[in-house]
Chain A
Amino acid sequence: MSILIDSITKSFGEETVFEDFSAQLPDRGCVCFFGPSGSGKTTLFNILAGIVAPDSGTVAFTAGTKVSFAFQEDRLLPWVSAAENVEQVLFCEGARSQALHWLGRVGMAEAADKLPGELSGGMRQRVALARALAYGGDVLLLDEPFRGIDARMKERVFDLLEGEKKDRLIVLVTHYPEEALRLADTIRVISGPPVRITDTINIPDHKRRDPVFTGSVLARLGASPSSVCEE
């Protein structure tokens, strides 16, 4: 187990986001938390990333676990170029060439010297993704990472992440079923707050493109009371 969430509780004022919530996350592969916005997924990520501490309960990591995060908003430094944004998280020699490598992997090589303000929302999102990937780490948190990215580019990013999940854990938050189906090995359907796991769906790789199977998964996601998203 790379992450063990043990009966955490977290409230913000009146609102209880977590109440005695527990979950286990594997070492590698992709776990998707599927549910509507406002159900507490962002708080879950903030807790996993160590930005927010739970009121009680623990999140136990294997010692030395490094957590990387692609936020829902890009959170790029507006005053430095795309490449420098990626460089900031690299504390090694040759940060520039590494940054360019990762920007290239998300199809952003040409925009390396542009400021975030000169890029479209989807492009900024890809720079943020490149930053999260460049940082590396054992756990990669992706909070709605594909917003504003066009279909062709999305496919490229999926391929990239498919490779990445082989040797690390990707935790994905989305409310688009097809994104979950494409990447996740396990889908945890959640509702809340307070956050509850209402369904767990395992997706074996050989069934990922099986229309009968995916149809049934989509039905389960669609049937879950939390799926009130419109697309």
Chain B
Amino acid sequence: MMRSITSRDDRFRNVLRKALIAAIWLLLWYALYAVVGQEILFVSPVRMFTRLFELAGQGAFWVSTLASLFRIVLGFLLAVALGVAVAVLATVSAFVHDLFYPVIRVIRATPVASFIILALIWLSEGTVPVFTAFLMVFPIVWENVFKGIQNTSRKLLDMAKVFRFTRVQKLKRIYIPSVMPYFVAACNIGIGLAWKAGIAAEVLGIPKNSIGKELYSAKIYLETPDVFAWTAVVILLSFALEKGFLQLLRKAGQKYNAGD
């Protein structure tokens, strides 16, 4: 909607601007590569992209990528579900809140690496990324959704009481719209964190068919172009996840705003 206001000229200028910025950074990257001069230490953008395309042509690339994606998204979704559930329970019961509060503080203060190493002792390496992603996202979702419920306008709730709103009405018309911005923010931060922490867990746990394992073996065999290419995959998927997730939420939001 907003974009239609800007004229075609402006849009063209905008694209040009972005292309220029990209070109500057790519050139700098290339210059750095030329100065270092050793592919084992630093890879040129050209080399990275050609390697990426080579990898993308192989079936194993997609198996690893999708397997990693699956694990981390699974951990993320579990955390979202449980985070929302515990936030609701914590609203209803002060005891549940006080019970979980220290746990969440401890989780937040613990370095991811500690969790990964502990999880590797307890769990199979395939489950560790799921668990790690879960631990990263759970406190964020819990805290945000809880805050969202707390900040739901007392005045609107009183209004709902006067006009005898049903429970469903209160949930649909007051609580969900109030909490939505907090929830979206939590998911937006959470998905990126889950992805990065999940990949770190894979690098340490090296489960079969995973981006982490590919990164790890590339490092062992000093395949620096592969390290770059796989890192690019992580970055691209990170962007895609954040964007895709937001799109999904926007769609859901529209659907439910459209009415009953």
Contacts and interface: CB of A to CB of B under 8 A. Distances in A.
Interface of A: 46, 49-51, 67-69, 71, 73, 75, 77, 79-80, 84, 88-89, 131, 135
A51 B158 contact: yes
Contacts of A51: 158, 161-162
Given A49-B162, A88-B163, A88-B173, A79 B257 contact: yes
B162 A73 contact: no
A175 B177 CA distance: 35
Interface in B165-196: 165, 169, 173-174, 177
A115 B14 CA distance: 32
Contacts of B161: 49-51
8 contacts: A50-B162, A68-B163, A71-B155, A71-B159, A77-B173, A77-B174, A79-B257, A88-B165
Contact of A77 (B158, B162, B177, B259): B177
- Chain A: interface secondary structure? loop
Looking at A50, A71, A77, A131, the one whose CB has the most chain B CB atoms below 10 A away is A77
Nearest to A71: B159
Interface in B118-171: 155-156, 158-159, 161-163, 165, 169
B155 A73 contact: yes
Interface of B: 155-156, 158-159, 161-163, 165, 169, 173-174, 177, 257, 259
Contacts of A80: 173, 257, 259
A215 B177 CA distance: 50
Nearest to B166: A91
B173 A75 contact: no
B259 A75 contact: no
A88 B169 contact: yes
Contacts of A131: 163
B171 to A, nearest CB: 13
B123 to A, nearest CB: 42
B257 A77 contact: no
Contacts of A89: 163
Nearest to A89: B163
A63 to B, nearest CB: 16
Contacts of B165: 88
B259 A84 contact: yes
A16 B78 CA distance: 49
A86 to B, nearest CB: 10
Contacts of A73: 155
B108 to A, nearest CB: 31
A67 B164 CA distance: 10
A51 B177 CA distance: 22
A88 B161 CA distance: 12
Contacts of B155: 71, 73, 75
A75 B169 contact: no
Nearest to A79: B177
Nearest to A69: B162
A8 to B, nearest CB: 19
A169 B173 CA distance: 29
A113 B158 CA distance: 24
The 9 closest A-B pairs by CB, nearest first: A89-B163, A75-B159, A79-B177, A69-B162, A51-B158, A49-B162, A75-B155, A135-B163, A77-B173
B156 to A, nearest CB: 6
A88 B156 CA distance: 13
A77 B156 contact: yes
Nearest to B257: A79
Contacts of B173: 77, 79-80, 88
A73 B159 CA distance: 11
Given A71-B155, A79-B173, 19 more contacts: A46-B158, A49-B161, A49-B162, A51-B158, A51-B161, A67-B162, A68-B163, A69-B159, A69-B162, A69-B163, A77-B156, A77-B173, A79-B177, A79-B257, A80-B259, A84-B259, A88-B165, A131-B163, A135-B163
Contacts of B257: 79-80
A95 to B, nearest CB: 10
